[in-house]
Amino acid sequence: MSPRHSGSNQAATLIVVIADVLAAIIGLWIVMYLLDANRANDLVAWVADAARFLAGWSYDLFTFDEAWARVVMGYGLAAVVYLFVGHFIAGRLRRG
């Protein structure tokens, strides 16, 4: 394996890990929201703030009547996009 491929594989792995962590934070918030987690708790507040920041572009994208459906779709879309884009870029780097 050439040094170039080794660097590409390391970069690809880093991108996958970052994408997975971002999606996990968003997914954790969806679960916390659905389970009505105590928003006064510091961990819950941090996860909510982080998810809101990460999904700022997709939050309130959908206008379902039910709040839970808006959260699942709006935040869920962001999580899926992070996963798809991160893994796509990593795959391209590994092939490169």
- Would you state the pLDDT for residue 2? 54
Q: What is the model's pTM?
A: 0.88
54 and 71 share one domain = no
Q: 95, 4 in Cβ contact below 8 A?
A: no
Q: 1, 26 in Cβ contact below 8 A?
A: no
50 and 77 share one domain = no
Which residue blocks in 35-66 are alpha helix, DSSP H?
42-54
Domain count, the chain: 2
Backbone angles phi, psi at 39, to 5 degrees: -70, -10
Residue 6 pLDDT exceeds 90: no
- Would you state the pLDDT for residue 60? 83
30 and 50 share one domain = yes
16 and 37 share one domain = yes
4 and 37 share one domain = yes
What are the distances in angstroms from CA 48 to CA 22, 27, 41, 54? 12, 10, 11, 10
- Would you state the pLDDT for residue 61? 86
pLDDT tens readout for residues 12-69? 999 999 999 999 999 999 999 999 999 999 999 999 999 999 999 998 888 899 999 9
